[in-house]
Structure formats: structure tokens, C-alpha cells
């Protein structure tokens, strides 16, 4: 799966979960960039991402992410 | 030695002058060594018997941090997890030993007695080290952050020990995270005029809220919690309504002083409050209150639980929030009232979770003429009333006292008490000023901060305001030696 395809899907998930009109995620995107993205919505996002990509993250993996780029790396690693 | 005392002023003057000597400014290690000595002197001044304990714990965690990183580098994830668990258990064990052992053993003995097994329990004479709740959380976050690969372990023990014992925050926080604070110890600090002036302004505001607002309300609330059977219903209602303002003015005042002292030395310390009196519901309140503690618990307790319960829907969220709030309640100390406080707050979350309103609220927007919108105001008043009830729980001497206090509040003498007879006119005026400033300066770090953070030009307005506040502190401060509420935690 291409990185750009993952981002396309992620943008849709973020809009859906956070009730946003549009969002443009990049590797450097962090929770502070989006007002609606907090510790509670973060979990809803993870559940939606796991469902959409048919994968399961470990707790430590989730805790280690510093930005969206690192999350995308985890998705790519799981999809390979 | 409280920050708003002449003793601290003399101590800090010496620390400041030596810290910025040209010879000291050449190397950060010299400044760190001086800061560590000053911090240990400060801590020893308050509690010298606990200095060896502080030093020994610091050494142990410094080595643990190194072991975790080495295990990660060797690809031994299991060993890294084990060392991290050891650090967390050790940290919690320390808290348990110093804060809770007497409480649990005493409660257990009472339980056995209640079911007919007679045991005698003589309370252990465990001395609670000052600031243990705060520096233990720093130590735990250090090992977790290394395990999560968010930070590298500190190569210098001097740097690490200075971070743990940093004197402005060791007594009652804010709880700085290693990722934000340790890098600040890796560079020599030159005197930064604007940052230092910003710090002075913040200290001035902190002293004002503590000595003029919090201490004057404390006379009423202390009277209510300790002597409630003698008080009228109105008195107790006023005390409960004023208590959230008192504790906020007290702890925010302390935090502002600590952050301000840090700024004078060139450090950026974590923000502790974000205008909690403007919270429109309980969820928002916890996003604005004691941020360095709630942020810590969110990252290390709430998130791991929430991740684990993520497929359980609302039940998972409620469980994670409830455990989170119980930990926050218990962190305050060893008493069933703190447990009940946690339960009470988690129940307040229940309707928010069921209606999906527990998420982050939209930013506050002004209504006509810059005033607060009516709907938001209603939310703020409702939240304040719920917090006032919570304060009755947390500040009562025990669970039976809570019930008795509520009874006194309802069944007591309904003789109307004029609020002006309880509070002096200047206390009421300063509370009104605080509330108005909370709203109009809600985007600032503290109320009298300059928007530009540039203090090179002193306008008449700023100088006049500073002098007015200083004058108010000198004339109206309720008590020169009143303790800070959070020192007991």
C-alpha cells in the first residue's frame, strides 16, 4: 500500500471521527495541530484506523508514536 | 521556607547572584552544580533527615534509566520492560510506604475488628518526606519516557539530580517532564531580562492571588471544615462556594511563584492551570486544572488503560476515566474522603460519556461587548456548584464528617449571614477582579502578563498596576505565614 493511499484514507477517518470538514495530515502532524484531537478522540481514531486497515497495534507501539508519520510507518509495517 | 517569605527572598538573592556570575555562566555544569547544592540546601532546610533518602532514590533511578536504554540498544525488549516495571513499582512502592502504609494497615485492622477478629494496630511512625508526591512522579516519568524512546537517559548524574531536586518545584510542583526540562540543563543560562521580568510579574500575580484572595477566604473555609457544627447553614454554603476559588487562588498562586522563580533563572517550567473557573463542564475542568498532574496521569495511567479497553466502547472509556480519577483522588493522600472524591468525579463523567459530550470543548468565544455568552456562563456556574460539592468531600476530616457537614448545611440555623460580614470588602472586590480578569485574560499565561512579553519599555499603566498590586499585598495580605494547601499532598 502506497504512503499516499494511507494518507488519503487517514484524512477521511480523521474527518469522520473528529467531525471535521477537511484535514491534510502530513508526517509532521501532531495532536496539538488539531483542536478536536485529544487523548479521548485519539483512542477513537486508533479504533477506526485498526478497523479500516484490518490491523491491530500493540500498546507500546501506540505509546511510542510522536507524530502521524510514525503511525503511518506502523501501518505500512503491519500491512507488509 | 515558602516562596512568599523574606527568608526565601534572602536565599534566592544569593542563589541568583552566584548563578549569574561570569565564571558560572561559562559552563552549564557549574551552574547545575550550584543549582543542585542550592536545591539540596533548600530541601534540607525544610526536611534535612530526608536528604539521604532523596539522594539514594535519585541514584537508583539514574542507574535504572541507563539499564533500560542499554537493554533497548541490545534489542532486549523484555529486559527493558522489566527494568521499567521495576522503576514504576519502586516509585509507587515509595509512595505507598510513605503515604499509604499507615492508612491501609489501619483500615485493615478496623475491618478485622468489625468482623470480630480483634487485632491491635499501633501506627507506624513513618515520616512523610516533603514533596514526595511530586518528585516521585518525576522519577517514574523518567523511566517510562526512556522505555517509550521519547528521551535518551541523562548521561550526567549532576544534570539528572538537578532536574529531580530543582528547588522552585520540589515542594509542590509543577511536575516537569524530563523531555522538556533536561535539555534546559544542557546549556549555560545567560540572564534573560525579558524572561526574568515576565517571571517577576508572574510572582507578583501569584503573591497577590495567594495572600490577598486565597488566605482571606481560607479563614472562612477552615472555620467551616473544622467547626461546622457551630456554623449556620448559610456560612457553610458560602464556604463550599468559595472553596474552589480559594484552592485555585492558592495553588495557582504557588504555581505562578514557582514558575516565575524558574523564569528568573532562565527556565521554562510547565504550566499548571488554564483558567479552571471558566470550565463549562467537568471534563473541561479536568483539562484546565493542575495540568502537570493530570497530563502525567493521562499519559501514564489513562492512555495505557484506554488503549487496552479501546474496543469496549463507552464502558471502556468510563472504566479508564474512573481509574484515572481514583488515582488522582488517592494521589492527594491517604483518606477514604480522597477515594470518595475520585468516585464522585467519575460519576460526574457518566452523563457526559453517555451523551458523547466528554470530548474537548470548542474554544470559548465572547458574546456581545466581549462578555461571556449566557449558555457558557450557565455551564460555568453549574460546574462551579459541582466542584463546590466535591470540595466538601475532599476537605472533610472523614466520611462520617461529610454526612454530618451536609446535615448541618441543610438542617442548620438558616439565619441569613451577610457575605460582607464574613469576607472583608477588599476580599470580595479582589474575588470579583479575579473572576473578571480570568475571563478577559484567558488567552494569557497569567493575568498581568504583557502580550508581547517585551518588558524593555515600561508603560505607565504597567508600573501603576504593579504598584497597586504590591500595595494591595502589603495592606491586605491575610496572613504572612499561611501554608499552601498543596503542601499537605
Cβ-based interface (< 8 Å): residues of A facing B: 35-36, 38-43, 46-47, 59-60, 62-64, 66
**Chain B residues touching residue A17 (CB < 8 angstroms):** none
Check whether B483 has a pLDDT greater than 70.
Answer: no
Facing A63 at nearest CB: one of B304, B317, B360: B304
Q: What is the pLDDT of residues B384-408, one digit of tens each?
A: 999 999 999 988 888 888 888 888 8
Answer left, alpha or beta for residue B290, where phi above 0 means left and psi between -120 and 50 means alpha.
left
- Contact yes or no for A36 and B360 at CB 8 A: yes
* Dist CA B55 CA B439 (whole Å): 43
* Dist CA A16 CA A8 (whole Å): 13
Query: Which of B151, B304, B309, B360 would best serve as a mutation to test chain A binding (most A beta carbons within 10 A)?
Result: B360
Highest mean pLDDT among A31-40, B46-55, B270-279: B270-279
The shortest C-alpha distance from A30 to chain B (Å) reads: 14
Catalytic residues of B: 332
- Contact yes or no for A36 and B359 at CB 8 A: yes
Chain B residue whose CA is closest to A61: B148
pLDDT of B199: 93
Lowest mean pLDDT among A21-30, A32-41, B78-87, B440-449: A32-41
Facing A43 at nearest CB: one of B287, B310, B360: B310
Lowest mean pLDDT among B6-15, B26-35, B97-106, B132-141: B97-106
Across chain B, mean pLDDT equals 87
ipTM of the modeled complex: 0.82
For residue B50, give every residue at least 6 positions away whose Cβ sits within 8 Å of its Cβ, in sequence order, or none: B43, B127, B129, B130
**Chain B residues touching residue A46 (CB < 8 angstroms):** 307, 310
pLDDT band of B55, cuts 50, 70, 90:
very high
The shortest C-alpha distance from A8 to chain B (Å) reads: 24
Mean pLDDT of all residues in B303-324: 90
- For residue B366, the cross-strand partners are B372
Give me the percent of chain B exceeding a pLDDT of 70: 93
**Chain A residues touching residue B308 (CB < 8 angstroms):** 59
pLDDT of B13: 94
- Contact yes or no for B360 and A63 at CB 8 A: no
3-state helix, strand, coil in chain A (%, to 5): 65, 0, 35
Facing B148 at nearest CB: one of A39, A43, A64: A64
For residue B447, give every residue at least 6 positions away whose Cβ sits within 8 Å of its Cβ, in sequence order, or none: B205, B434, B437, B438, B441
Check whether B288 has a pLDDT greater than 90.
Answer: yes
* Dist CA A71 CA A51 (whole Å): 15
**Chain B residues touching residue A66 (CB < 8 angstroms):** 150
Map out the domains of chain A with their CATH numbers: 3-79 (1.10.1200.10)
CB count, 10 Å around CB of B27?
Answer: 11
Facing A47 at nearest CB: one of B298, B303, B311: B311
Check whether B489 has a pLDDT greater than 70.
Answer: no
List chain B domain ranges: 19-190, 194-280+364-488
Q: Higher confidence at residue B382 or residue B450?
A: B382
Q: What is the pLDDT of residues B108-150, one digit of tens each?
A: 777 777 777 666 655 556 667 778 889 999 999 999 999 999 9
Facing A40 at nearest CB: one of B148, B358, B363: B358
Check whether B476 has a pLDDT greater than 80.
Answer: no
The shortest C-alpha distance from B130 to chain A (Å) reads: 31
Check whether B81 has a pLDDT greater than 90.
Answer: yes
Highest mean pLDDT among A58-62, B97-101, B137-141, B303-307: B137-141
Check whether B254 has a pLDDT greater than 80.
Answer: yes
- Contact yes or no for B310 and A47 at CB 8 A: yes
pLDDT of B487: 62
Opening angle at CA B204, ends B429 and B452, nearest 5: 100
The shortest C-alpha distance from A1 to chain B (Å) reads: 25
Give me the percent of chain B exceeding a pLDDT of 90: 50
Q: Which long-range contacts (CB under 8 A, 24 or more apart) does B403-411 make?
A: B404/B228, B404/B229, B405/B225, B405/B228, B405/B236, B408/B228, B408/B229, B408/B231, B408/B233, B408/B236, B409/B228, B409/B233, B409/B236, B409/B237, B409/B240, B410/B233, B411/B233
Amino acid at each position: 500500500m502506497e504512503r499516499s493511499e494511507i494518507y488519503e484514507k487517514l484524512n477521511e477517518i480523521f474527518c469522520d471521527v473528529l467531525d471535521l470538514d477537511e484535514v491534510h495530515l502530513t508526517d509532521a502532524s501532531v495532536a496539538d495541530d488539531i483542536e478536536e484531537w485529544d487523548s479521548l478522540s485519539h483512542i477513537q481514531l486508533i479504533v477506526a484506523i485498526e478497523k479500516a486497515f484490518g490491523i491491530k497495534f500493540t500498546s507500546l507501539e501506540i505509546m511510542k508514536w510522536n507524530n502521524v508519520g510514525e503511525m503511518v510507518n506502523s501501518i505500512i509495517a503491519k500491512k507488509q | 521556607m515558602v516562596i512568599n517569605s523574606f527568608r526565601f527572598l534572602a536565599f534566592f538573592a544569593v542563589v541568583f547572584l552566584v548563578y549569574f556570575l561570569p565564571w558560572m555562566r561559562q559552563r552549564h555544569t557549574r551552574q547545575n552544580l550550584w543549582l543542585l547544592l542550592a536545591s539540596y540546601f533548600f530541601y534540607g532546610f525544610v526536611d534535612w533527615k530526608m536528604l539521604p533518602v532523596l539522594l539514594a532514590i535519585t541514584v537508583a533511578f539514574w542507574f535504572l534509566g541507563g539499564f533500560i536504554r542499554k537493554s533497548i540498544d541490545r534489542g532486549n525488549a523484555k529486559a527493558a520492560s522489566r527494568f521499567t516495571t521495576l522503576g514504576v513499582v519502586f516509585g509507587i512502592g515509595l509512595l505507598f510506604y510513605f503515604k499509604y502504609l499507615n492508612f491501609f494497615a489501619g483500615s485493615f485492622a478496623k475491618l478485622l475488628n468489625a468482623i470480630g477478629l480483634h487485632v491491635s494496630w499501633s501506627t507506624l511512625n513513618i515520616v512523610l518526606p516533603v514533596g514526595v508526591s511530586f518528585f516521585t512522579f518525576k522519577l517514574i516519568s523518567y523511566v517510562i519516557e526512556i522505555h517509550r524512546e521519547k528521551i535518551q537517559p541523562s548521561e550526567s548524574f549532576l544534570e539528572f539530580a538537578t532536574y529531580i531536586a530543582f528547588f522552585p518545584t520540589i515542594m509542590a510542583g509543577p511536575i516537569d517532564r524530563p523531555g522538556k526540562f533536561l535539555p534546559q540543563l544542557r546549556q549555560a543560562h545567560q540572564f534573560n531580562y525579558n524572561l526574568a521580568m515576565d517571571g517577576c510579574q508572574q510572582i507578583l500575580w501569584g503573591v497577590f492571588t495567594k495572600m490577598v484572595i486565597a488566605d482571606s477566604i481560607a479563614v472562612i473555609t477552615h472555620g467551616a471544615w473544622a467547626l461546622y457544627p457551630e456554623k449556620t447553614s448559610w456560612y457553610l454554603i458560602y464556604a463550599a462556594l468559595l472553596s474552589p476559588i480559594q484552592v485555585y487562588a492558592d495553588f495557582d498562586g504557588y504555581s505562578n511563584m514557582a514558575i516565575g522563580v524558574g523564569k528568573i533563572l532562565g527556565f521554562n517550567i510547565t504550566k499548571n492551570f488554564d483558567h479552571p473557573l471558566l470550565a463549562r463542564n467537568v471534563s473541561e475542568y479536568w483539562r484546565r486544572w493542575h495540568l502537570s498532574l493530570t497530563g502525567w496521569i493521562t499519559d501514564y495511567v489513562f492512555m495505557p488503560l484506554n488503549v487496552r479497553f479501546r474496543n469496549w466502547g463507552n464502558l471502556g472509556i468510563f472504566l479508564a476515566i474512573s481509574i484515572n480519577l481514583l488515582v488522582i483522588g488517592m494521589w492527594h493522600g491517604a483518606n477514604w474522603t480522597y477515594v470518595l472524591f475520585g468516585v464522585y468525579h467519575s460519576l460526574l463523567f457518566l452523563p457526559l460519556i453517555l451523551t458523547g459530550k466528554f470530548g474537548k470543548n470548542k474554544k470559548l468565544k465572547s458574546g456581545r461587548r466581549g462578555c461571556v455568552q449566557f449558555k457558557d456562563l450557565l455551564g460555568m456556574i453549574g460546574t462551579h456548584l459541582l466542584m463546590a460539592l466535591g470540595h466538601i468531600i475532599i476537605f472533610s476530616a472523614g466520611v462520617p464528617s461529610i454526612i454530618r457537614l451536609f446535615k448541618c448545611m441543610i438542617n442548620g440555623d438558616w439565619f441569613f449571614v451577610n457575605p460582607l460580614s464574613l469576607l472583608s470588602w477588599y476580599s470580595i472586590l479582589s474575588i470579583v477582579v479575579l473572576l473578571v480578569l480570568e475571563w478577559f485574560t484567558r488567552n494569557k499565561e497569567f493575568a498581568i502578563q504583557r502580550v508581547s512579553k517585551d518588558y524593555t519599555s515600561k508603560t505607565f499603566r504597567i508600573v501603576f498596576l504593579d504598584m497597586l498590586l504590591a500595595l494591595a499585598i502589603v495592606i491586605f495580605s491575610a496572613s504572612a505565614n499561611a501554608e499552601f494547601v498543596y503542601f499537605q499532598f
